[in-house]
A and B are shown apart, each in its own frame.
Chain A
Amino acid sequence: MTSLVSIKNLYKKFPIHGDLLDQISFSGGKFHLKHEYVHAINGVNLDVDKGEALCVVGESGCGKSTVARTVMGLLSPSSGEIQYNGQRIDNLSPTAMMPYRRKMQMIFQNPYASLNPRMTITQALEEPVRWHQPKLNTAEVKEKVAEVMASVGIDPSWGVRFPHEFSGGQRQRISIARALIVDPEFIVADEPISALDVSIQAQVLNLLMDAREQRELTYLFITHDLSVVEHFGTRVAVMYLGALCEVAPTRKLFSSPKHPYTQALLSAIPRLEDEKPDFIRLKGEVPTPVNLPSGCVFHGRCPHANERCKQEIPKLLDVDGTRVACHAVEEKRLG
């Protein structure tokens, strides 16, 4: 299978801009300016194959949105590369990036912030078409807009109205239409349904699944909700503190999770079943990405950690068709 998008050894750190006073420290008889960083992504390698719906899951602050934004070129990597169809794109000039800006579209979590409040729905949908396909005449643009509106179930009467007149679910529908209207190949969706109610979440998920089928789209789908992953994803990447713990086909990840963190995460899903399953309690809380733990970033909370875990960063290794970064799995201490 060919990968459409490749994330190669990606690192991203953000400088912390505290008060100047916070940044100055005194030691050895001298003042120093501390340079502190948030280490949001620490060596992520991930390929997105053509046609798949790859889900990235993890708890808040683990770096999911940073991955999404870096892939989209909204942030530049601190080191590493992003490739699209084998071509490096993270260092392109804005002009050279233009064709990719059409092929790659993003849907955001907040359907309130992602639409321009001063544009009617029709204007918001026409704008990207005019921008990316300047050769189309007005009638052709209108036709295109009408076609996409129909395909995502937007009533033509919505066209003259403004975003504030719509509910969260309706706005997310409009954002999806706006992403689809330029005929993209690849869609990054960053928590697209997290702000929506259950009955509306199902509508939006269905819409994204229909679009994938009809338009042969490839998705990088970011979420913290594992039951959505189980339903929507063809493959899953589990993240913790800026690193990948486990990458596996969805069915496999849910039936035989290998990484201790994946196991804990799966056990915490509130299920409808009668019997309350025992969830795996983790020690402590997620450390800050400012001072990353040494070795395996999960070692402070891991029930299987040993001395090696505190020193050596585990590599993603192939174990029965799953990729896992865990010494215990490698040493066969863990299933």
Chain B
Amino acid sequence: MALLEVKNLEVKFGLRTGEVTALRDISFTLDRGQRLGIVGESGAGKSVAAFSILNLISRPGYISGGEILFDGKDLAKLSTKEMRYIRGNRISMIFQDPMMTLNPVLTVGDQMVECLQAHTKINREEARRISLEKLKLVQIPSPEKRLDQYPHELSGGMKQRIIIAIALLLNPDIIIADEPTTALDVTIQAEIMDLLLELCTSQNLGLILITHDLGVVSQVTEQAIVMYAGRIIEQGPTKEIINDAQHPYTQGLINALPQQGIPGERLNQIRGSMPPLHRIPQGCAFHPRCDYADAICEKELPGFTQSGGCQAACHLVAGRIALKAKAEETH
């Protein structure tokens, strides 16, 4: 059994205007040493998924179905105290906004010591020693000096390294990183991604990397999930998804990238935009934007079809695979 197994996770938000479903039918597994990417456009549900895994989703949001099995235990059913233990010691999170982790009025060293002492019985000296060791692990320049600095004295790239060091403090099994480099420049982003990749290997960490950047997913992860309007629409080995996407939305996303276009010519755009949660259309949520949409797409929610190593939620893919199977049968 995998270390983390998310099964049919469903999350709802109870809004004044009625209930909306932010996530449905999210399933995947992750073990130590594996790297999983979650991609999708803004509002697709990537952050809600990350927060839910850690049971950090708060009112008006709640987990309305499914299981999050970690070491066989359902995290959705744990007490606050048990969950706090998991969050500190077993699964760490790196947030989209660095200031969600860093306290502006404490030095880096004090925050790290505080974090260690909150989770383990340990004296100050020992805690500082471990903190320094982790700062070295994330290859920050002059680590001793950083312990006594405040967050505002550090550049964006250094802040992100410190956040990674904090995430590593208690030697977790899994790190969930939500857009860890969105606010950073390309050269710094490349360094941070390189660091995450290296840490996953050297520390045997499981990584869930959330991003809207397919380039980043393709360089860092082995497995990928593509989300649209709160659902997984395609998942499988990253290489296969990038080189041979099955779902029309994944294909559209890849083809819309400037690096896939012919310089100076129009890009292959996807028309329209992703609907908000309270206006998700019937049937396949992508159908108003899809070039292949059929009558069935407007009515019936497509289930997953296996194609190669990937699974895609699309009637077209299902039809194609069925045809292929039939052809093979008659041969």
Query: What is A's interface to B at a CB cutoff of 8 Å?
Result: 59-60, 167, 169-170, 197-203, 205-206, 209-210, 224-228, 230-232, 234, 250-251, 264-265, 267-274, 276, 279, 281-282, 284-286
Q: Is the CB of B216 within 8 A of A270?
A: yes
Given A199-B270, A203-B270, A227-B257; 7 other pairs, CB 8 A cutoff: A199-B41, A199-B253, A202-B267, A230-B263, A265-B186, A271-B218, A273-B218
Chain A residue nearest to B214 (CB atoms) is A272
Interface residues of B in 198-256 (CB under 8 A from A): 212-216, 218-219, 239, 242-243, 252-254, 256
Query: Which of A198, A270, A276 interacts with B256 by CB under 8 Å?
Result: A198
A123 to chain B minimum Cβ distance, whole angstroms, is 24
What does DSSP make chain B's interface, helix, strand, loop or mixed? Answer: helix
Q: Give B residues with C-beta under 8 Å from A.
A: 41-42, 141, 155, 157-158, 185-191, 193-194, 212-216, 218-219, 239, 242-243, 252-254, 256-261, 263-264, 266-271, 273-274
- What is the CA–CA distance of A286 and B156 in the complex, to the nearest angstrom? 11
Alpha-carbon distance A60/B214, docked complex (angstroms):
22
Contact between A285 and B215, CB atoms less than 8 A apart: no
Query: Can you sample 12 A-B contacts with CB below 8 Å?
Result: A59-B186, A169-B273, A198-B257, A199-B269, A203-B269, A205-B267, A209-B266, A226-B186, A227-B258, A227-B259, A264-B187, A270-B189
| Smallest CB separation, B250 vs chain A (Å) | 11
Interface centre among B158, B190, B268 (most CB of A within 10 A): B190
Chain B nearest CB from A204 CB (Å) reads 9
Provide the bound-state CA to CA distance between A206 and B266, in Å. Answer: 5
Indicate if the CB atoms of B256 and A274 lie closer than 8 Å. Answer: no
A167, B155: Cα distance in complex, Å: 32
Listed residue (B186, B269, B274) with the most chain A CB atoms within 10 angstroms of its CB: B186
Shortest Cβ distance from residue B196 to the other chain A in the assembled complex, whole angstroms: 13
Q: From A210, A228, A264, A272, give the contact of B260 (CB < 8 A).
A: A272
Q: Which residues of B lie under 8 Å from residue A231 when comparing CB positions?
A: 258-259, 261, 263-264, 267
Which listed residue, A206, A224, A272, touches B269 by the CB 8 Å rule? A206
Residues of chain A contacted by B213 (CB below 8 angstroms): 270
**In the complex, the 3 A-B pairs of residues with the closest C-beta atoms, listed nearest first:** A270-B215, A231-B258, A202-B256
Cα–Cα distance between A224 and B187 once the two chains are bound (Å): 11
Query: Contacts A201-B256, A205-B267, A230-B258 hold; do A224 and B186 have CB atoms under 8 A apart?
Result: yes
Is A274 touching B263 in the complex (CB atoms < 8 A)? Answer: no
**How distant is the Cα of A170 from the Cα of B266 in the complex, in angstroms?**
19
B186 engages A197 (CB within 8 Å) = no
Question: A59-B185, A272-B260, A285-B188 in contact; A202/B215 too (CB < 8 A)?
Answer: no
Assess whether B157 is in contact with A271, with CB atoms less than 8 Å apart: no
CA distance A173 to B216 in the complex (A): 28
Q: Which of B41, B141, B266 contacts A198 (CB 8 A)?
A: B41
Q: Give the shortest distance, in Å, between B29 (CB) and chain A (any CB).
A: 24
Q: Which residues of A contact B257 (CB under 8 A)?
A: 198, 202, 227, 272
The chain A residue with its CB closest to the CB of B43 is: A197
In the complex, A279→B219 CA distance in Å? 12
Asked if A270 meets B193 with Cβ closer than 8 Å, knowing A198-B256, A276-B219, the reply is yes
B273 near A268 with CB under 8 A, answer no
- Evaluate contact between A265 and B187: CB separation under 8 angstroms: yes
A residues near B259, Cβ cutoff 8 Å: 227, 230-231, 269, 271-272
Q: Which residues of A contact B157 (CB under 8 A)?
A: 285
A170 touches B273 (CB 8 A): yes
A284 to B269, Cβ gap below 8 A? no
Assuming the A-B contacts A169-B273, A198-B214, are A274 and B239 also in contact, with contact meaning beta carbons closer than 8 angstroms in the complex?
yes
Measured CA separation A274–B221 after assembly (Å): 11
**Known contacts being A199-B41, A231-B261, is A272 close to B194, with CB within 8 Å?**
no
B41 contact set on A, CB distance < 8 A: 197-200
A200 to B272, CA, bound (A): 8
Please determine whether B267 and A206 come into contact, CB atoms closer than 8 angstroms: yes
Distance between Cα atoms of A167 and B186 in the complex (Å): 26
